[in-house]
Amino acid sequence: MAAMVIVGGGQAAGQNVASLRQAGYEGEIVLIGDESHPPYQRPPLSKQYLSGEHGVERVHLRPPTFYQDKNIDLKLGVTVTDIDTQSHQVKCSSGENIEYEKLLIATGSRPRILNAPGSELPGIFYLRTIDDVDRIREAMSSARSVCILGGGYIGLEVASVAITSGLNVTVLEMEDRILQRVTTPEMSNFYHELHSAHGVNILTNTAAQGFSGDGKVEQVLCGEQRIKADLVIIGIGIIPNVELADAAGIYCENGIVVDDHCQTSEADIFAAGDCSNHPNPILQRRLRLESVPNAMEQARVAAANMLGGNTTYSSIPWFWSDQYDLKLQMVGFSSDGDAQIVRGDKSANQFAVFYLKDGAVVAVDAVNSPREFMVCKQLYGQTVDQAQLQDSNVDLKTLLHA
Amino acid sequence: MPLIKFIEHDGTAHDIQANNGDSIMITAINNLVPGIDADCGGECSCATCHVIVDSAWTEKARTLGENENAMLDLNPDREVNSRLSCQIEVSDDLDGIIINLPEFQY
């Protein structure tokens, strides 16, 4: 009998199989993941798992026994090589063909690779999987200096863990400011100063052109500059894994294109998570998000619709990043705003920047300010009294009831 | 193994044998109890694991953390005994605890 088949073993996949069972589906469920681990959380990898605060069990989405108990067939360490939409079958690297009734593609994304002379030297790592971090942790234990390529959230979270563990840390950023792609110059400055104050050496407008070393990486080459590093971690963005879907004739453009039901151009095939290009009815445009909350929500929506439901995806994007003792929580996209309002005290590392468009709240960057984060989720798209929003003596509840 | 009684918003009850040391949130997730999203995985970052602890059990469910309180503060469904279930650790003291689930997570 045909099964619910999930290609991929990340958070969207893990949530989808749980949602299928939670909805009462009793048929066969097969999850095919190319990693050897059961579905796990990626956000802690560059934070508590890298620092050693969390062990591997703590990052698993659910314990391995869950899948046995719920009769969910995990095929781990197996790659799907082909989807045959005619015969409704997936072909696996194990040689097995599995027939699907409905298929979820949750293939996620992979790190963008830097091709430069010396990039094959030992000691150069990317950070995406548990296995990656296990290797990085081992290398960190004997390293004295680390050079991080890319001043995005992953790179900065790693910098925070590495400098806290006593390493010399350099961050190279190609653009003229860190976090250039994802936040405003003001937030970039704030995080630049924060890292500098902790001793991280951040070099902007600096691109690695190659690596040198005797048997392992020892230096990162940037024009005239030579940066000493016995460990290099590259975090320069990700690429959605669309090749499998594309080869099967499923419509892809900046991700696997789905509708508001997470359905692809093939009726019985759904997609969720980082790999999907989906419409967001609240933001009124298509998005491809590298985000856990999105992966989880799309997985729930896909599960409902795989079972014949009629559930529409509609949620406001949000994100978080932990660096040092600062929790950054973000709602929406600051680039959508045409004005900003700062609430709180930047010098005390407790503030939120609200972004407004035509007077309506469209985003927030909240540093150690969970109330501001929560209020933004609820005020999204609404006009607010800007004087009250700015005044931290005004209880945010007043704004909700306005 | 302490018994946790989850009660959905519609009254559906789930009696779960929990493991000491797990959070209430993890207990719900691992047993497919509906009504808890827990998107951030237990980092007190998302507030999507909101529960209302039965008033007889509030003192045993440890104290409300500062960050947790702030996350709950703007929740329109907040009640006196609201908690984030990722912040409550299961122990023998909680054997029999009643956990009410809200209609929505924000």
Domain annotation covers residue B61: yes
Residue of A nearest to B31 (CA): A66
- Decide if B46 and A375 are in contact by the 8 Å CB cutoff: no
Asked if B29 has any chain A CB less than 8 Å from its own CB, the reply is yes
Give kind and range of the element (H or E) at residue A127: none
CATH number for B61: 3.10.20.30
Q: What is the pLDDT of residues A376-395, one digit of tens each?
A: 999 999 999 999 999 999 99
- Decide if A43 and B40 are in contact by the 8 Å CB cutoff: yes
Among residues A154, A109, A99, A81, the alpha carbon closest in space to that of A10 is found at A109
Q: How far is A223 from chain B (nearest CA, A)?
A: 41
Q: What is the pLDDT of residues A132-186, one digit of tens each?
A: 999 999 999 999 999 999 999 999 999 999 999 999 999 999 999 999 999 999 9
Integer Rg of chain B from CA:
12
pLDDT tens across the length of chain A (402 residues): 689 999 999 999 999 999 999 999 999 999 999 999 999 999 999 999 999 999 999 999 999 999 999 999 999 999 999 999 999 999 999 999 999 999 999 999 999 999 999 999 999 999 999 999 999 999 999 999 999 999 999 999 999 999 999 999 999 999 999 999 999 999 999 999 999 999 999 999 999 999 999 999 999 999 899 999 999 999 999 999 999 999 999 999 999 999 999 999 999 999 999 999 999 999 999 999 999 999 999 999 999 999 999 999 999 999 999 999 999 999 999 999 999 999 999 999 999 999 999 999 999 999 999 999 999 999 999 999 999 999 999 999 999 876
**Chain B residues touching A373 at Cβ < 8 A:** 71
Residue of A nearest to B47 (CA): A374
Other CB atoms within 10 Å distance of the CB of residue A343: 22
Closest residue to A293, CB basis, from B29, B46, B76? B46
- Interface ipTM > 0.90: yes
**Chain A residues touching B43 at Cβ < 8 A:** 43-44, 320, 322
d(CA B91, CA B22): 8
Q: How far is B52 from chain A (nearest CA, A)?
A: 18
Retrieve residue A201's tokens: 């050496």
Q: Return phi, psi of residue B50, to 5°.
A: -60, 130
A201 strand-pairing partners? A170
Among residues A132, A173, A167, the alpha carbon closest in space to that of A153 is found at A173
With tokens 């863990």, the residue in question is A161
Closest residue to A371, CB basis, from B32, B70, B76? B70
Domain annotation covers residue B68: yes
Question: How many CA atoms, within 13 angstroms, populate the side-chain half-sphere of residue A366?
Answer: 23
DSSP state of A114: P
Domains and CATH numbers, chain A: 3-110+238-306 (3.50.50.60), 113-234 (3.50.50.60), 325-400 (3.30.390.30)
Domain annotation covers residue B105: no
d(CA A151, CA A236): 8
**Chain B residues touching A371 at Cβ < 8 A:** 70-71, 73-74
Among residues A134, A104, A115, the alpha carbon closest in space to that of A36 is found at A134
Closest residue to A293, CB basis, from B39, B43, B75? B39
Q: Which of B26, B36, B43, B49 should we substitute to test contact with A (largest number of A Cβ atoms within 10 Å)?
A: B43
d(CA A213, CA A218): 5
Q: How far is A208 from chain B (nearest CA, A)?
A: 33
Other CB atoms within 10 Å distance of the CB of residue B73: 17
Q: What is the pLDDT of residues B78-88, one digit of tens each?
A: 999 999 999 99
- Decide if B30 and A62 are in contact by the 8 Å CB cutoff: yes
Domain annotation covers residue B106: no
Residue of B nearest to A328 (CA): B45
Listed by number, the residues of chain B in 30-69 with a beta carbon closer than 8 Å to a beta carbon of chain A are 30, 32, 34, 37, 39-41, 43, 45-47, 67
- Decide if A43 and B43 are in contact by the 8 Å CB cutoff: yes
Domain annotation covers residue B47: yes
Domain annotation covers residue B96: yes
Closest residue to A375, CB basis, from B30, B67, B74? B74
**Chain A residues touching B71 at Cβ < 8 A:** 370-371, 373-374
The total number of structural domains in chain B stands at 1
Strand A89-92 vs strand B3-7: parallel, antiparallel, or unpaired? unpaired
Question: How many CA atoms, within 13 angstroms, populate the side-chain half-sphere of residue A217?
Answer: 32
Residue of B nearest to A60 (CA): B41
Range of the domain at B62: 3-100
Integer Rg of chain A from CA:
22
Q: Which of A373, A389, A399 should we substitute to test contact with B (largest number of B Cβ atoms within 10 Å)?
A: A373
Q: Which of B40, B69, B86, B106 should we substitute to test contact with A (largest number of A Cβ atoms within 10 Å)?
A: B40
Domain annotation covers residue B52: yes
A29 strand-pairing partners? A4, A72
Q: Residue B59 — pLDDT band, cuts 50, 70, 90? A: confident
Asked if B74 has any chain A CB less than 8 Å from its own CB, the reply is yes
For residue A156, what are the contacts with CB-CB under 8 A and spacing of at least 6?
A171, A178, A179, A191, A195, A321, A323
Q: Is the CB of residue A235 less than 8 Å from the CB of residue A155?
A: yes
